[in-house]
Amino acid sequence: MSKDAHAEQAASPRPRPDPAGSRWYEPAAGLFDETRSDDGTVRPHWEYLARALQGLGTEELRRRRDEASRLLRENGVSYNVYDDPDGYNRVWDLDPIPLVIGSNEWAGIESGLIQRAELMDLILRDLYGPRELLRKGLLPPEMVFGHAGFLRPCDGVKLAGERQLILYSANLARGPDGNMWVLGDRTQAPSGAGYALENRMVITRILPSLFRDSRVHRVAVFFRALRQTLVSIAPRASREPRIVILTPGPRNETYFEHAYLASYLGYPLVQGDDLVVRNGRVWQRTLSDLQPVDVIIRRVDDDWCDPLELRAESRLGVTGLLECARRGTVSIANPLGSGLLENPALLAFLPAIARHFLGQPLRLSSVRTWWCGNPGDLQHVLANLEHLVIKPLSRAAGERSLPGPTLSRDELDRLRAQISASPRNWVGQEFAQFSATPTLSDDGGVEPRAAVLRTFLVARDADYAVMPGGLTRVAPSRGSPLVSNQYGGSSKDTWVLASEPEQQVTLWLQPAREQMTSGNRAPLSSRAADNLFWLGRYSERAEGTARLLRTILAKYDESLQYDDPEHAQCLHALLRSLTHFTATYPGFMAEDARLHQPDDELLAVACDAGRSGSLAQSLQALVHSAHAIRDFWSSDSWRVLDSIDTQLAALRTRGSVTIENLSEHLNQVVVALAAFNELTSERLMRDQAWRFLDMGRRIERSLLLASLTRSTVAVHTEPAVEALLLDAILSTGESILTYRQRYRSYLEVRTVLELMLLDSNNPRGMIHQLLRLQETLAGLPTDPGAAGGAELCERDRLALEAVTQLRLVSLDRLVQSGRGSVLREDLDQTMARITHLLTRMSEVITGQYFGHLRESQQLVQARIEVERGPR
């Protein structure tokens, strides 16, 4: 039989033994395998993919996986892992082999999920309403009242309309019996839909023809339903309700997804302090005014959403938000308090509740669950601890489920004692071996790994829309039962096969584009403006520092070569100016010994991110600011930002940077920063966002130039030394070529100062920065509180004075030193004055546009006996 004929045979609809396939992938013995039945035949819905992947070969599959990693990295798809220094922005891990689900089975799963979502909705409405479930004995009060997710302030707060649970997620896994089980429910702010979407985008790029020929259901329908539903729950009858996504911020584990969904759906991404409550309504702060907010998709947990009524120490929420929901002036999806449904003990009671509310049995069964608040269940759990997964009733931060089989005898004893002390707070669940699915391992083979599927539902008119497929996550290694991103597993695309060819519903691409532009037209939030401003400042500071360091390294080389007092003197002057320029005091000002052995200090100023003023610290601050406005960046800008991040990581790698190779590192940093500057100044629209970035740049560039000038030529030195210092000014200020073209002469203080300070044709010169700054300031929204009229506002006055100061200087006086002194007083004072004016301007801008981002505090009621009168 020829090879081709064999392949044909495997593709025939009748399942047959597949010896070729076994070379490609060997299922684990004793586990349910997604691709093959016990007798070794390939399951029909896997046939096409299995044959195709086998045809590709693992070598090619590895290549495709690398391609996927590259795409994910370039798109900045990340997942933050807590308590891990390198976990911030860990790149999302995607396995190239999808999980396939046949159309018949999916139909059953889908109807089971819809039933479960409806049931969850009914429970939510009941527990914050009539609490019939308690009265009828269907739920023990202790299980409800004792769960941290039951938020008493949320009692009776309802969205308009019947439906309360808008978003719903369930984790599914296939048990040993071959059926899909529900492992748990996510009802507060389910995450993962954005990752599922990104996974799909990447897979369609790395396996285009396979995807096309497999007739896979599109996931976009889910997002279309989501958009429609969010509009429909808006409190005001409005054709264009303002919908925002509330994120806890860049430190959150799924921050990437928040930003990604914000740009995909076209909604502003906001943090708590971007919103404010006034007169019983929620408003978004923008640079010029407050915009009413109608709908909030929140990714902040329930009890962190409102410090007034919920967790008082929260800085992630919006003070007064719950009262707005109570009055019905804002709709929150999901409503506050819905975390109550994440109670794992609920699983034990669901079948009876389904019969009560729906008159039906559950279509999808849950993993077997025991609530230790029931004496019988407690006994069972204590007796079988090592065979169960133990979960706390309320999921506190950092608490994870404990799989009994992985615990030591001591750990089991401790757990037993904990459970016996407060049985009500514990739940036991069956520890099952879930089905395995082929996954590409790190060493290049394909191996079976346990998989869990997170599904996504959104309410629509009469029922729920289900995303076909979802986010599949697989265990970090063969044989590991743990599936969680926090443990470091991988993810997969999920293919639900259509029974008939599906129409190409690419509509999501079109509306998304429209939405994105309308998102950009939306007024700029103060927080975004703040980050853009500092992004501008840090990118300049980093570039200036890198250039100066590079110049110094060159001089350092020369001084070693020539080994004469002049070169040494020049190097020392430059080293001191580096300390001034970066404000890394005491640095080279401290002792002369360091001037003669500058290696360590130079490396520290370049690489030590913990040192304020260092290059690494500026780069880090730059990257942080850029992350905080993740939704602003196109994939091109993101790629450039990523390269900056890579350079930073290289600088920070202990032991890899030496004084010999530092120059090379600096070159790369300068190139990456130049690309970023280029991209942002060319591509960003000349709107408010650009203005803040540009102002940050201009202010910082002028400040750096002033500092550099003062620390090099404000004091007379010998002509030979002075020439070298001037050379450093020009190369740090990127103006050497311009100077040569213009003056074709040796370096002189007078001409260098003319070019760097006064010549408005030099785009790197100071007067150019100040004039552009003036222009940019004129385009800013005016301060709503400022009195109109002819008077200049403070920032304009500062800019005018800085420009005038510089315009009025005479070059003759600038280069002159005072009688009997080596100090060029005019130069020094002019630079000092301009520094003061620009520093003040930065403060004024901060106060005016970002100033409201101030700390809140609790009104403390120290105790109730305060200030007692005489007794």
Partner 1 sequence: MNYRIVHRTDYHYAEPVDSGYNEARLLPRAVPRQLALSSSLSIDPPPSDYRERLDYFGNRVAGFSIDQPHHALSVTATSEVSIEPRSGRLDLFEGESWDASRERLMQSNDPESLLARDFALDSPLVAVQPGLASYAAGSFARGRSLLQSVHDLMERIHRDFRYDPEFTTLSTPLAQVLEHRRGVCQDFAHLAIGCIRSHGLAARYVSGYIETLPPPGKPRLVGADASHAWFSVFVPGSGWVDFDPTNNQVPETQHITVAWGRDYADVTPLKGIIFGGGMMTLKVSVDVLNLDTAVVAAPSDSAGAAAQP
**What residues make contact with partner 1 under the rule CB under 8 A?**
131, 134-135, 137, 141-142, 145-146, 152-153, 155, 276-280, 307-309, 312, 319-320, 323, 326-327, 422, 424, 852, 854-871
Query: What are the beta bridge partners of residue 472?
Result: 453, 492
Nearer to partner 1 (CB atom), residue 131 or residue 416: 131
Dihedral angle over CA of 408, 411, 416, 419, nearest 10: -130
CB 869 to partner 1: min, Å: 4
The CB-of-376 to partner 1 minimum distance in angstroms stands at 15
Which burial class, exposed, middle or buried, applies to 370 when counting CB atoms under 10 A from its CB (0-12, 13-18, 19+)? buried
Q: Least distance to partner 1 from the beta carbon of 380, Å?
A: 20
Q: Closest approach of Cβ 841 to partner 1, in Å?
A: 23
Strand ranges (DSSP E) for 531-647?
A: none
Provide the minimum distance between the beta carbon of 286 and partner 1 in the complex, in angstroms, as a whole number: 17
DSSP 666-713: HHHHHHHHHHHHHHHHHHS-SSHHHHHHHHHHHHHHHHHHHHHHHHHH
Q: Nearer Cβ to partner 1, position 521 or 868?
A: 868
Q: Shortest gap between Cβ of 357 and partner 1 (angstroms)?
A: 18
Strand, coil or helix: 43: coil
Q: How far is the CB of 528 from partner 1 (least distance, A)?
A: 20
Q: Which two structure tokens, joined as six digits, stand for 556?
A: 């350092």
Q: Which is nearer to partner 1, 317 or 696 (CB)?
A: 317
Six token digits for residue 753: 């100062």
> CA of 752: how far to CAs of 183, 418, 747, 804, 842, in Å?
71, 75, 7, 20, 27
> 345-356 burial, b for 16+ CB within 10 Å, e for fewer?
bbbbbbeebbee
Rounded CA gap, 762 and 740, in Å? Answer: 13
Least distance (Å) from partner 1 to the CB of residue 645? 34
Cα–Cα distance measured from residue 861 to residue 532, given in angstroms and rounded to the nearest whole number: 39
CB of 278 to partner 1, least distance (A): 6
Which of 142, 463 has the CB closer to partner 1? 142
CA distance 288 to 265: 24
Least distance to partner 1 from the beta carbon of 319, Å? 5
Other Cβ atoms less than 10 A from the Cβ of 833: the count is 15
- In whole angstroms, how close is the CB of 32 to partner 1 at the nearest point? 41
Residue with tokens 């103006």: 735
Give min distance, CB of 69 to partner 1, in A: 45
Spell out where 441-555 has E strands.
446-459, 464-466, 471-474, 490-496
Rounded Cα gap, residues 585 and 578, in angstroms: 10
- Contacts of residue 549, Cβ cutoff 8 Å, sequence gap at least 6: 578, 602, 605, 606, 615, 662, 666
- For residues 789 and 587, give the distance between their C-alpha atoms in angstroms, rounded to a whole number: 49
Q: In whole angstroms, what is the distance from residue 223 CA to residue 262 CA?
A: 12
Q: What is the residue type of 419? A: I
CA distance 527 to 271: 8
Q: Which is nearer to partner 1, 272 or 468 (CB)?
A: 272
Q: For partner 1, give the closer residue by CB, 134 or 568.
A: 134
Nearer to partner 1, 145 or 487 (CB): 145
* Residue closer to partner 1, measured from CB, 819 or 871: 871
How big is the chain, counted in residues? Answer: 871
For partner 1, which is the closer residue by CB, 424 or 492? 424
CB nearer partner 1, residue 392 or residue 696: 392
Q: Which of 812/855 has CB closer to partner 1?
A: 855
Q: What are phi and psi of 496, to 5 degrees?
A: -100, 120
Q: Which is nearer to partner 1, 409 or 863 (CB)?
A: 863
Q: How many CB atoms lie within 10 A of CB 800?
A: 15
**Identity of the residue, 301 or 309, whose beta carbon is nearer to partner 1 in the bound complex:** 309
All residues at 6 or more sequence positions from 439 whose CB lies less than 8 Å from its CB, including other chains: 95, 97, 446, 447, 448, 449, 474, 490, 492
Check: CB of residue 345 under 8 Å from CB of residue 369.
yes
Tokens representing 204 are 């369609």
Q: Please enumerate in sequence order all residues whose Cβ is within 8 A of that of 581, keeping only pairs 6 or more positions apart, or say none.
A: 544, 545, 548, 704, 707, 708, 711
Nearer to partner 1, 19 or 129 (CB): 129
Handedness of CA 102, 107, 111, 117 (dihedral sign): positive
Smallest gap from residue 142 Cβ to partner 1 (A): 6
**Edge-to-edge strand ranges of the sheet holding 269-270:** 269-270, 243-246, 295-298, 331-333
**Which residue's CB is nearer to partner 1, number 153 or number 488?**
153
CB of 401 to partner 1, least distance (A): 22
Question: What phi, psi does 16 have (nearest 5°)?
Answer: -140, 160
Smaller CB separation from partner 1, 142 or 557: 142
Q: CB 138 → partner 1: shortest distance, Å?
A: 11
User: CB of 287: closest distance to partner 1 in angstroms?
Assistant: 18
Note if the bond before 13 is cis, omega within 30 degrees. no
Residue for token pair 């010029």: 288
